[in-house]
Amino acid sequence: MGHVVVVGAGQAGSSCVAKLRNSGFEGEITLIGAETAPPYQRPPLSKGYLLGEMTLERMYLRPESFYAENGIELILGAEVSGVDAGAKTVTVAGRDLKYDDLVLTTGSAPRRLPASIGGELDGVYTVRTLDDVNAMEPEFADGKRVLIIGGGYIGLEAAAVAAKKGVSVTLVEMADRILQRVAAPETSDFFRALHRAHGVEIVEGVGLDRLTGDGRVSGAVLSDGRTLDVDFAIVGVGIVPEIGLAEMAGCVIDNGISTDAEGRTSVDGIWAAGDCASFPYRGGRIRLESVPNAIDQAEIVAQNIMGVGKEYVAKPWFWSDQYDVKLQIAGLNVGYDTVVTRAGDKPGDASFWYFKGDELLAVDAANEPRSYMVGKRLIEAGKSPDKAAVADPAVVLKTLL
């Protein structure tokens, strides 16, 4: 049956090895992770775990014993230092492991601020790994002042946790509005109002000039000349796919590790899945940074290693938790020209429906699970509802199906 080596012990890597065993793969399986903890869920890091509402064990994707019980060798706290695609070996912790199939589930890394503007000062954090969050957790004390750089979902989630813990929060977004890259103005307006109601200062259209401090961050200078006193800073300016090993192996890179619809890279015997992989989608190529994509894509790769020959058809969905609001997103809003707002069942709740012409592309549902479910079903079925019906709260959602 051969030896499958999976590099990257996150959601995709864990899903891939479990699917291989559950599908009857009898060969050797090795899962390699750079972190010392067994595979865990990342989304709760910046929410429940940071708030102290969720233990580390509860975040494990599978019990630690699962891997040994299923004959999966788990190598943790180890970086893969080399890939030789010709010899079909990976080098890790001084060992050369021979593989028949190599799966790259290397994920992504947060963009960091350059050292030249204070990015390497103590007290400057990113939100990506358990170590990141463990390091910043003691900073979240009542009365402290945090500067959050970046108004995407990571920055906003961190702002929500900080505000809940009594931290004084200033968030700066260089673009004209928060969430500009990922959402419509209507969704931005919803979340701006939510954060301001919780005492967060949101500054839009203003960048960070530099962080200041002697060894440790103590202040910030904004691009409009304004200065702030800060006790710590959180950088949430996006993530980049981890492609180093794929480049070493000679794989084609195209906004991530380029794969075909079955998850194969351009190099024989090497596959990719999750945040690091770009794949065919509706005549183009996309890379999705989401848990559902990591799971589904990795499971397809596992099946295809076993010869099933199944194409991955992405059904994009995402979520974000901020305060008592659960945002659920179905579809991809790229290319929209109209947004229809539907009032929610409770005051303040709402959903935002993205259309291109008469075609429904995506739905952002804030505390509106029914709008999310109906929108998701419509998008997956390739159906589009009447815009006036969507906007009319008297129209029962289920009738749109």
16 occurs within a structural domain:
yes
Q: What is the pLDDT of residues 105-160, one digit of tens each?
A: 999 999 999 999 999 999 999 999 999 999 999 999 999 999 999 999 999 999 99
Query: In which band, very low, low, confident or very high, does the pLDDT at 26 lie, cut at 50, 70 and 90?
Result: very high
Do residues 102 and 117 share a domain? no
315 occurs within a structural domain:
no
pLDDT at 157: 95
Domain boundary at 235, 254, 283, which?
235
Do residues 152 and 214 share a domain? yes
For residues 78, 79, 85 and 87, what is the CA-based torsion angle, rounded to 10 degrees?
A: -50
* The amino acid at 275: D
Per-residue exposure over 123-148, b if at least 16 CB sit within 10 Å of its own CB, e if not: bbbbbbbbebbeebbebbeeebbbbb
Do residues 151 and 222 share a domain? yes
Do residues 62 and 42 share a domain? yes
Do residues 245 and 167 share a domain? no
Among 202, 241, 256, residue whose Cα is nearest residue 111: 241
342: β partners: 351
SS3 of residue 320 by DSSP: strand
Per-residue exposure over 99-108, b if at least 16 CB sit within 10 Å of its own CB, e if not: bebbbbbbbb
CB under 8 A, 24+ apart: contacts of 193-198 = 194/322, 194/323, 194/325, 195/156, 195/159, 195/160, 195/163, 195/171, 195/322, 198/160, 198/163, 198/164, 198/323
284 occurs within a structural domain:
yes
- pLDDT, average across residues 163-185: 97
* pLDDT higher than 90, residue 46: no
Domain boundary at 218, 235, 252, which?
235
317 occurs within a structural domain:
no
51 occurs within a structural domain:
yes
Number of domains comprising the chain: 3
Domain boundary at 235, 263, 285, which?
235
Do residues 131 and 48 share a domain? no
* pLDDT higher than 90, residue 246: yes
- pLDDT, average across residues 184-189: 98
Query: In which band, very low, low, confident or very high, does the pLDDT at 377 lie, cut at 50, 70 and 90?
Result: very high
What phi and psi values does residue 241 have, to the nearest 5 degrees?
-65, 140
Q: What is the pLDDT of residues 315-374, one digit of tens each?
A: 999 999 999 999 999 999 999 999 999 999 899 999 999 999 999 999 999 999 999 999
318 occurs within a structural domain:
no
Do residues 179 and 262 share a domain? no
Domain extent at residue 75: 3-109+239-305
119 occurs within a structural domain:
yes
For residues 367, 373, 379 and 383, what is the CA-based torsion angle, rounded to 10 degrees?
A: -120
- pLDDT, average across residues 40-64: 93
- pLDDT, average across residues 178-190: 97
Do residues 259 and 222 share a domain? no
Distance CA 373, CA 379 (A): 10
Q: What is the pLDDT of residues 57-95, one digit of tens each?
A: 999 999 999 999 999 999 999 999 999 999 999 999 999
Query: In which band, very low, low, confident or very high, does the pLDDT at 1 lie, cut at 50, 70 and 90?
Result: confident
- pLDDT, average across residues 281-296: 95
pTM metric for this prediction: 0.96
Per DSSP bridges, beta strands 232-235 and 124-126 are parallel
Distance CA 200, CA 323 (A): 12
CATH number of 281's domain: 3.50.50.60
Do residues 104 and 117 share a domain? no
Q: What is the pLDDT of residues 247-277, one digit of tens each?
A: 999 999 999 999 999 999 999 999 999 999 9
Do residues 295 and 333 share a domain? no
Do residues 130 and 162 share a domain? yes
Do residues 59 and 170 share a domain? no
215 occurs within a structural domain:
yes
pLDDT at 47: 87
CATH number of 348's domain: 3.30.390.30
